[in-house]
Amino acid sequence: MSSGSIEVPTGDYRFTTHCVSVHSGKKLHIDPSLWCIHGQHQTFEKYIISESNVSAHLAQIHPFALGWIGPREAGL
Summarised one tens digit per residue, pLDDT across range 21-61 is 889 999 988 888 889 999 999 999 889 999 999 999 888 76
Bridge partners of residue 5, in order along the sequence: 15
Cα 15 from Cα 6, distance rounded (Å): 6
User: In the prediction, which pLDDT does 1 show?
Assistant: 47
Instruction: Confirm whether pTM is higher than 0.85.
Output: no
Question: What amino acid occupies position 53?
Answer: N
- Beta 27-29 vs 13-15: how paired, if at all? parallel
Q: Provide the pLDDT confidence category of residue 66 given band limits of 50, 70 and 90.
A: low
Cβ atoms 22, 15 nearer than 8 A: no
26-42 burial, b if ≥16 CB within 10 A, otherwise e? Answer: bbbebebeebebebebe
